[in-house]
Structure 1
Amino acid sequence: MIEERYKKRYKTGDTPWDIGKPDFNLVQAATTMEIKPCKTLDIGCGTGNNSIWLSQKSFDVIGIDTSEIAIQKAIKEASKANVKCTFIVTDFLTNKIEGAPFGFVFDRGCFHSLKSDQERKRFAENTAAYLEKDGLWLSITGNADEQRDGPGPPQRTARDIVNSVEPYFEILSLVSSHFGSNHPNPPRAWVCLMRKRRSV
């Protein structure tokens, strides 16, 4: 189970994705694109770096994660930063999230953890169900165009993303980038901004 794997990694401190600051791709998208402050869901929020940044920019944020360790740390960090966020230990795919509909959903490295097209479609369908009409979803996903020798985030092709999200979302932009990282050679990423289809 993916959730168990992540819980274990938080316990052992093996969390290279936890960079102690918001991902620059989110910062860029939220400041240059049509993402306005609104009720927001941060899926797989980890220790809250992105949720806290969004809250500082007047977004009303609920951050969810399956790791209790991560959520406890997120609550502490939000308190330190003196921002109001709601953090909940829950599983996005199996539990109902209170507070919908949301105007914006963000996920960094959650969607790409799902191995099959079917699972990713379910994630996209769930995301659409939590969004209001014309709601936006920004996903940062490992990029399969990177030739890699060592470990790193799961990698997906542009086609993997399109196949999974197309029935539920209109893709506004799909850009090749890299993850915000503390490493000199950060892993490559897709940054995909989508709008919920009106027919959904």
Structure 2
Amino acid sequence: MGNRFEERYRSGDTPWDHGMVDFNLVEVVSRRPVQPCRTLDIGCGTGNNAVWLAQQGFDVIGFDLSATAVERAREKAAVAQAECCFVVGDFLADAVPDAPFGFVFDRGCLHSIPEPEGKVAFAEKVAGLLVPDGLWLTLVGNADEPKREVGPPQLTAAELTAVVEPCFEVVSLASGRFGSDQETPPRAWVCLMKKRAITLPEK
């Protein structure tokens, strides 16, 4: 999977990267509000969301499979004079530095894991990296929309909650759209969760 994303960033075939912070992240952080804290952006890509979070006072680590994406994220952060740390790695396989985190964000990373057991392992690892009552915001392709020829993997609400509820309390689950420069952006689940009071080993 790592090589696939690296090839797509090198070729520029990245329809999910529209060069701006995702408005769903802005709305959730501003509305809840989520207070600045140590934060992990999983699948950070070229750093749009990590840079925005750093500008709001968050202590951000961006984590991505693609070395090309991470290089661009570092360049973007330097131009914006935003203090972020970016790490190349496989979230499920590699250690994540500087845990625990108060807030975790992923935009389309959870839904990219193909097997149900892999998605469960992803959720368990997020929980293991969070402080007690830590928050996770995930944006996931929404199966209420017909499958697009080019578009994100999709889950039903039932599939998503089955993956996350063993480790997380669902604070809010809303049907929306990904931030995008497409005329009709893909449908998304915008799911904010709080870590349950359970003990999981850090992975």
Shared fold by TM > 0.5? yes
> Displacement, 1:115?
1.9
User: Is the CA contact 1:65–1:90 (under 8 Å) kept in the aligned structure 2?
Assistant: yes
2:61 paired residue number: 62
User: Is the CA contact 1:168–1:197 (under 8 Å) kept in the aligned structure 2?
Assistant: yes
1:151 paired residue number: 150
1:127 paired residue number: 126
> Displacement, 1:34?
3.5
- Identify if the C-alpha distance between structure 1 residues 196 and 21 changes in structure 2 by more than 3 Å, giving closer, same or farther: same
> Displacement, 1:8?
1.2
Give distance in 2, aligned partners of 1:50 and 1:164: 24
Give distance in 1, aligned partners of 2:3 and 2:189: 25
2:166 paired residue number: 167
> Displacement, 1:90?
0.9
1:98 paired residue number: 97
1:181 paired residue number: 180
Give distance in 2, aligned partners of 1:161 and 1:41: 20
Give distance in 1, aligned partners of 2:48 and 2:19: 6
Give distance in 1, aligned partners of 2:160 and 2:81: 36
Give distance in 2, aligned partners of 1:140 and 1:149: 17
2:17 paired residue number: 18
Deviations 1:125-145 (A, max 9, x none): 000000000000000000001
> Displacement, 1:199?
2.0
Give distance in 2, aligned partners of 1:5 and 1:117: 20
Percent identity reads 52
Give distance in 2, aligned partners of 1:90 and 1:148: 29
Q: Does 1:3 align with 2:5?
A: no
Local SS of the residue matching 1:141: strand
Local SS of the residue matching 2:94: coil
Q: Does 1:136 align with 2:122?
A: no
> Displacement, 1:148?
3.4
User: Is the CA contact 1:117–1:163 (under 8 Å) kept in the aligned structure 2?
Assistant: no
Equivalent residue pairs, number: 199
Deviations 1:71-111 (A, max 9, x none): 00000000000110000111110011110000000000000
Q: Which residue type is aligned with residue 21 of structure 2?
A: P
Deviations 1:143-177 (A, max 9, x none): 00101342101011111111111110000001000
Give distance in 2, aligned partners of 1:54 and 1:21: 12
RMSD value over aligned CA atoms?
Answer: 0.8
> Displacement, 1:11?
1.4
> Displacement, 1:49?
0.1
1:30 paired residue number: 29
Structure 2: any 5+ residue segments left out of the alignment?
none
1:86 paired residue number: 85
1:114 paired residue number: 113
Structure 1: any 5+ residue segments left out of the alignment?
none
> Displacement, 1:4?
1.9
For normalisation by structure 1, the TM-score amounts to 0.97
